[in-house]
């Protein structure tokens, strides 16, 4: 492709040179011709078009490209950002883009382009269809969603020029969908600004009040954190440390207040001390120094280095008592951890990080699952529910007893875990142990829990599972299965037997013999501790006559070590 261009000295040419400078800084070996050609082609295509602000339309794709360049996006992504509206809003044809910029750039632009032939569909239906189209393209080429997020951010920056109904609709969409996508992909630089701008439009009075309180209290608080930084610097005597006073976004502060039921007079800590060290090992050493200088609060240390968050966020968090007697959040990380925290998956193309590579593939696989691997969910409601429940929600890491880790949506239960672990066997889930103790199938799992699943030889799925499951995929599978199982002539298992015992070798075998001797089939059995630290045998029994069951119970009571026998009749 030929990128020879004649340049003239104008403001927009200066913008082009600035853009090229940023791209070359991130990719020194890149051919700047691609950026120049995309710039001039898009500028020509949008000539005469104006935005609501009455500024030239080209300002929008240019600023979208600047946002991505500052994140460290690659030259093809920058070119596609400059061109992202030409197929939708100008007479440019896909064949022109293919000829001038190649297939890769064309596919990126097509992925971001909205569907145009939608008949007489409602606005909501069109929005959902466009989002589905965008995310389906993203599963094949992740850079598509990165361009769209930058596009949304610039639109949010200029939202004041739109009528109020449009401002509210777009802000709600950003806060509900696009900002959470940015957070899911670890691009905090986009998430923080998008969520704050959306919240400012949706709740201007609350935003203004919180902003005022933060500004009023911020000066004294910053002075305290700077004093703490000086104390740490003096103790370490190292020139390799970096200190920043970080400020939480207004939206983050409001969300925490809502979660804790606090008012403006009980504003949570909105500043934190950030310490940058050379290596991960140094993070742990500095944590010890911070704790030697300032009293740590119990159970407030979070190690996101050993166990990174799902969006690859890494740092050590601790809360200590500052000089004023108030709690202070301290975060310790390396420069590379900070880079990945800000850029998320965009860092993959710039840093070639193995961690971002892993995140990228994991999230694209999860998104593809939500999208039905190419088969769109049947309804708009199903699609949005699946997206929010199974992709956009925060996640936790849960382990099997063998040490295998599974990433699950927050608030997941053992039922969700079973469907993630083995979808076919999940319908036979009978009991679960969490951290070695029997737990309800509806128990909320926490980050780091070890979950042991105990399966029966018979189907166990029943109506209460729909309440126990939190993920959309699990609920959908259970609902479909139960509809089939409720046909005439089919039934579900009937009885569980709980036997409290004095734990000893052979107790399970002794009770099992008493059951089997009376002609009752044991579908599954397990021994474990209950939450109140009692030993217990649990049996899942096939259907039995009342006489056989009563005889079996009498035999069980004669087994040495048996304290009590309880029957649970299943639906």
Tell me which residues are annotated as active site.
Answer: 88-89
d(CA 395, CA 405): 12
d(CA 145, CA 148): 5
For 234, residues 6+ apart whose C-beta sits below 8 A from its C-beta are: none
Q: By C-alpha distance, which of 176, 177, 247 is closest to 213?
A: 247
* The two three-digit tokens of residue 302, written as one number: 């979070």
CB 461 within 8 A of CB 468: no
Burial class (CB within 10 angstroms; exposed 0-12, middle 13-18, buried 19+) of 415: buried
Q: 167-175: long-range contacts (C-beta < 8 A, 24 or more apart)?
A: 167/201, 168/201, 168/202, 171/197, 171/198, 171/199, 171/201, 171/202, 172/198, 172/202, 173/127, 174/198, 175/199, 175/202, 175/251
CB 462 within 8 A of CB 529: no
Provide the 10 A C-beta neighbour count for residue 201: 21
Angle between helices 380-387 and 123-140 (to 10 degrees): 50
* The two three-digit tokens of residue 524, written as one number: 């599954």
What are residue 56's phi and psi, to 5 degrees?
-55, 140
d(CA 439, CA 413): 10
For 122, residues 6+ apart whose C-beta sits below 8 A from its C-beta are: none
* The two three-digit tokens of residue 261, written as one number: 């039921």
Pairing between strand 562-569 and 495-501? Answer: antiparallel
For 299, residues 6+ apart whose C-beta sits below 8 A from its C-beta are: none
* The two three-digit tokens of residue 97, written as one number: 């883009």
Which residue has 């989002």 as its token pair?
A: 131
Q: By C-alpha distance, which of 88, 91, 63 is closest to 147?
A: 63
561: alpha, beta or left, given left = phi > 0 and alpha = psi -120 to 50? left
Q: What is the DSSP string of 447-488?
A: TT-BEEEEE-SS----TTHHHH--SHHHHHHHHHHHHHHTST
Which residue has 């920043």 as its token pair?
A: 244
CA 9 to chain centroid: 46
What are residue 258's phi and psi, to 5 degrees?
-65, -45
């Amino acid at each position: 492709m030929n990128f020879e261009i004649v340049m003239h000295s104008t403001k927009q040419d200066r913008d082009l040179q600035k853009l090229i400078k940023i791209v070359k800084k991130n990719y020194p070996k890149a051919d700047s011709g691609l950026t120049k050609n995309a710039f001039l082609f898009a500028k020509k295509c949008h000539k005469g078009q104006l935005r609501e602000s009455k500024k030239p339309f080209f300002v929008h794709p240019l600023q979208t490209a600047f946002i991505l360049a500052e994140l460290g996006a690659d030259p093809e992504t920058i070119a596609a950002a400059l061109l992202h509206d030409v197929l939708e809003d100008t007479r440019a044809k896909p064949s022109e883009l293919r000829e001038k910029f190649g297939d890769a750039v064309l596919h990126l632009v097509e992925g971001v382009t909205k569907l145009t032939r939608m008949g007489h569909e409602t606005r909501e239906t069109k929005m959902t269809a466009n989002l589905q189209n965008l995310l389906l393209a993203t599963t094949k080429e992740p850079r598509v969603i990165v361009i769209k997020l930058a596009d949304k951010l610039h639109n949010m920056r200029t939202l004041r020029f739109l009528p109020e109904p449009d401002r509210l609709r777009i802000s709600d969409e950003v806060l509900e969908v696009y900002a959470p996508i940015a957070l899911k992909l670890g691009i905090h630089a986009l998430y923080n600004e998008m969520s704050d701008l959306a919240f400012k439009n949706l709740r201007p009075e609350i935003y203004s009040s919180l902003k005022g309180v933060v500004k009023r209290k911020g000066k004294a608080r910053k002075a305290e954190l700077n004093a703490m930084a000086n104390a740490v610097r003096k103790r370490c005597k190292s020139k390799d440390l970096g200190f920043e006073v970080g400020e939480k976004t207004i939206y983050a502060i409001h969300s925490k207040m809502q979660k804790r039921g606090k008012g403006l007079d009980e504003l949570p800590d909105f500043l934190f001390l950030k310490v940058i060290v050379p290596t991960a090992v140094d993070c742990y050493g500095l944590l010890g120094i911070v704790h030697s200088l300032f009293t740590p609060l119990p159970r407030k240390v979070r190690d996101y280095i050993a166990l990174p968050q799902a969006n690859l966020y890494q740092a050590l968090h601790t809360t200590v008592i500052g000089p004023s007697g108030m709690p202070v959040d301290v975060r310790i990380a390396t420069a590379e951890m900070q880079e990945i925290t800000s850029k998320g998956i965009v860092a993959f193309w710039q840093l070639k990080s193995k961690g971002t590579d892993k995140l990228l593939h994991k999230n694209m696989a999860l998104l593809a699952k939500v999208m039905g691997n190419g088969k769109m969910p049947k309804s708009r409601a199903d699609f949005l529910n699946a997206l929010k429940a199974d992709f956009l929600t925060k996640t936790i890491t849960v382990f099997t007893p063998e040490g295998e880790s599974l990433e699950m949506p927050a608030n997941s239960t053992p039922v969700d875990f079973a469907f993630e672990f083995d979808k076919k066997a999940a319908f036979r889930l009978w009991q679960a142990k969490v951290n070695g103790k029997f737990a309800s199938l509806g128990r909320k799992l926490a980050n780091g829990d070890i979950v042991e699943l105990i399966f029966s030889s018979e189907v166990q799925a029943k109506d209460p599972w729909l309440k126990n499951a939190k993920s959309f995929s699990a609920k959908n599978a259970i609902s479909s299965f139960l509809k089939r199982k409720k046909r005439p002539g089919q039934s579900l298992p009937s009885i569980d037997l709980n036997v409290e015992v004095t734990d000893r070798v052979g107790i399970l075998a002794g009770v099992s013999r008493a059951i089997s001797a009376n002609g009752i089939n044991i579908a599954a059995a397990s021994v474990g501790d209950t939450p109140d630290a009692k030993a217990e045998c649990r049996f899942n029994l096939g259907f039995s006559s009342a006489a056989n069951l009563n005889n079996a119970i009498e035999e069980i009571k004669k087994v040495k070590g048996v304290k009590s026998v309880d029957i649970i009749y299943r639906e």
